[in-house]
Amino acid sequence: MEEGERVGLIGPSGCGKSTLAKVLSGMLCPQAGEVRLDEKPLPKKGYRPVQLIFQHPEQAVDPKWRMEQILNEGYFPDRDLLNALGIEKEWLIRYPRELSGGELQRFCIARALGPKTRFLLCDEISTMLDPITQAQLWELLLHCSEKRGMGLLVITHNRALAERVCTRIVKFEDLNGKGEETHAKK
Amino acid sequence: MKRVSSIKTLAGPAAASLCLLILLFYGVFGDQAQLTTDFSQSGLAPSFAHPFGTDWMGRDMLTRTLFGMSRSLGVGLLAALISAAVALALGTIAAVGGKQADRAVSWVIDLFLGIPHILLVLLISFALGGGMKGVVVGVAVTHWPSLARVVRAELLGLRSAPYLLASRQLGKGPLLLAARHMLPHLLPQLVVGTVLLFPHAILHESAITFLGFGLSPHEPAMGILLAESMDYLTSGMWWLAVFPGLTLLAGVLLFEYLGSWLQKRFTKEASI
Amino acid sequence: MENQTLLTIEDLSVQFVSAGIRTTALSGLSLTAKEGEILAVVGASGAGKSLLAHAVLGLLPKNAQVTGRMTYKGQVLNEKTLPRLRGKEITLIPQSVTYLDPLMPVGRQVYYPMNKQEGRAKTAALFEEYGLSPEVMKKYPFELSGGMTRRVLFSAAVLSGAKLLLADEPTPGLSRETARHVLRHLRAFAKEGRAVLLITHDLDLAVECADRVAVLYAGTLLETAPACDFAADGAALRHPYSQSLWNALPQNGFHPVTGNMPSPGERVESCPFAPRCPKKTALCREKPVPLRPLRGGTVRCIHAT
């Protein structure tokens, strides 16, 4: 993947898309092969330049933390970003169970958009959301990607979505990772 | 509105803890005067002056029971705390130490669970020469496995929680993860587990003391009181066994009550 | 031929009372479900979709206060009638494996309320219809894939003979093809004269398979519309929110609307969408907007024509 490139990964459930995302982000170690960033292996410590956003935001935040702590765990996002994401001030003092899935997902995205983030892996991040929230989040992600030259890997089963947001689409067919590549119009 | 309901729900547990605390410290601050031998008062049935009666040496049984309970609670407390510490350590090793460590710890857990508690406590206590040390070590060594299991399972679940993965992605080291994400989730389980260990510890302590393998007659805990009473049952001094027995039962039930209250409280908090 | 109305909901409101604070989760909801139709209920998470299903089934928690009227075939639904109807006349198609007993073969779980021989034969026939081989009957839930489990749950719902089916989010995480397959089964139910209440956040699927679509927002029903009104740029829709929802789909422009849905604590009496609405006027904020019939549907907007 190139810098600032937006690749869509589509394929049926159970074909290994989510596993691939975990390997790419460095959460899982591959049994064979290597993931390289700038020709170097991924760092094992510190803030990871490849960040993963999960499908279920309610599982991706510690239920005992206040939203403010969750948000600031990696770095301190500035107010502009929070405004752009539609994160409201009074949400910060709440606990995760007091927010909806769409609202939590905004926090997860903000948390992953640290200054050192080079690639963002989005694993079905808007599947559980309504269309308006989905469109809001993607508008912001595309904006960020363009402004910072940040790469996006979009894992989804929604073809229309992939065509909207991606510059290149890879179809994942089976466990061997064989697939055809199609270039989207954009 | 909220205030009222929380006072109501807190009243029971607060009273229970107060009772147990008073019992525990009675041994330290209690009045020993009633324990002097006075043969003119020996073998009296329960009355207003001596609600629990007196024993064959004329000692007030109520006072003896309170002192005995205090000692038993102390031993139970010590043993339960040591047990909980062992459980935490071994559970953690099993959960984060890799496959080999997990296998080893799980094997030890199964081994301990396979042998009847009372037998093991007996053997260990006897091997250590009985007394306070024997009982505490015996009870502590035998009561950790079930709690260690809980700790291990909880940690394994936490370890793969997406929010932990995310936190690691954000550059947090293992110590920070353990302290800020894992401990807060583990603590309630551990506290409940420890409180629920008390009744077991106390009962086992009394049991082995009763059988003569635990505390010596110079350290009159509940087991000793009950064992002694057996000699006098045939002479009709039923109160020597009944009242201390009931007190022991009440203490154990209080702990059970506290433990299950805590458990309910924590699960409720988690499910809101 | 006019189909009989199975379920009528009139002015349903659900409030939760917790620690002396009352929050309104659903307000003034009116809906009908007819035989032979699929009614989709769509909305963002937290809009009150699942709550609606739970209210119809009488499965709300104890601190919920329900007002309004629900009738099934003219019979009022309340604590007395619901236990009798639930599972026999009205049934829920749950969304996941966790609703199956892990220690019982799935075949038996489908037919166990019935007599054994008859039940087994019927289950086998149903399984065949759903493309499940006869061996599946002897399998345990953990041996089935997600799609198979869903088909088993469907069979159980059919065999119960219920006339009103509530399907709560039957499709998340499924690929388009599998999801369509699931929805074809719902259509088959409807064809047999049942009514299906499909609860989903997936608007394009709802539009594709349902007859009518009800749009919920912040606990309020904003619109019910024939599914065919969700087309082109959404001009046929009655409420601005439905239009925004439709136009936010990736294939229809992907236009976001700024702002957030108000949470249950901050709900207002007037139009809940007004703060984000492109057509809002001062009138929108003044008083509660009533639900009124319009062009074969209903709408809760003073500007709709």
**Where along chain A do its domains lie?**
6-183
Q: How far apart are CA C58 and CA C68, in angstroms?
A: 13
Contacts of A59 in chain B (CB under 8 A): 161-163
Q: Which of B252, B267, B131 is nearest to B189 (CA)?
A: B267
Residue C156 is predicted with a pLDDT of: 82
Under CATH, what is the fold of the domain A6-183?
Answer: Rossmann fold (3.40.50)
Are the CB atoms for B138 and B83 separated by under 8 Å?
no
Please, is C164 exposed, middle or buried when counting C-beta atoms within 10 Å of its C-beta (0-12, 13-18, 19+)? buried
Q: How far apart are CA C127 and CA C134, in angstroms?
A: 7
How many other CB atoms are there within 10 angstroms of residue B99's CB atom? 7
Q: Do C258 and A136 touch (CB under 8 A)?
A: yes
For A31-66, write each residue's pLDDT tens digit. Answer: 666 666 666 666 666 777 888 888 788 788 888 888
Q: Where are the domains of chain B?
A: 61-271
Give the best residue of C263, C266, C276 to mutate against chain A (max A CB count within 10 A).
Answer: C263
Residue C223 has pLDDT above 50, yes or no: yes
B268 — pLDDT class (breaks 50, 70, 90) = low
Token pair for C241: 């929110």
Token pair for A152: 């996006």
For B94-142, write each residue's pLDDT tens digit. Answer: 877 778 888 888 898 888 888 887 888 888 888 887 777 888 888 888 8
Residue A16 is predicted with a pLDDT of: 66
CB neighbours of B133 closer than 8 A, spacing ≥ 6? Answer: none
The answer regarding whether domain B61-271 maps to CATH 3.10.100.10 reads: no
Are the CB atoms for A67 and A73 separated by under 8 Å?
no
Contacts of A128 in chain C (CB under 8 A): 45, 172, 201
Q: Do B162 and A27 touch (CB under 8 A)?
A: no
Contacts of B272 in chain A (CB under 8 A): 97
Residue C299 has pLDDT above 80, yes or no: yes
Q: Is C149 left (phi over 0), alpha (psi -120 to 50) or beta?
A: alpha
Q: How far apart are CA C165 and CA C190, in angstroms?
A: 9
Q: State residue B43 phi and psi, 5-degree precision.
A: 65, 35
Task: Find the CB nearest B184 among A59, A64, A74.
Answer: A64
Residue B251 has pLDDT above 80, yes or no: yes
Give the predicted TM-score (pTM) of the model: 0.70
The predicted model gives A83-102 an average pLDDT of 79
Are the CB atoms for A21 and A184 separated by under 8 Å?
no
B272 — pLDDT class (breaks 50, 70, 90) = very low
Q: How far apart are CA B137 and CA B5, in angstroms?
A: 42
Give the best residue of B165, B169, B180, B185 to mutate against chain A (max A CB count within 10 A).
Answer: B169
Task: Give the ipTM of the model, two decimals please.
Answer: 0.73
The alpha-carbon gap from B1 to the nearest alpha carbon of chain C, in Å, equals 6
Are the CB atoms for C284 and C271 separated by under 8 Å?
yes
For C127-174, write each residue's pLDDT tens digit. Answer: 887 778 888 888 887 777 767 777 788 788 878 778 888 888 777 666
Q: Where are the domains of chain C?
A: 5-36+43-87+214-299
B208 — pLDDT class (breaks 50, 70, 90) = confident
Identify the architecture of domain C5-36+43-87+214-299 in CATH.
Answer: 3-Layer(aba) Sandwich (3.40)
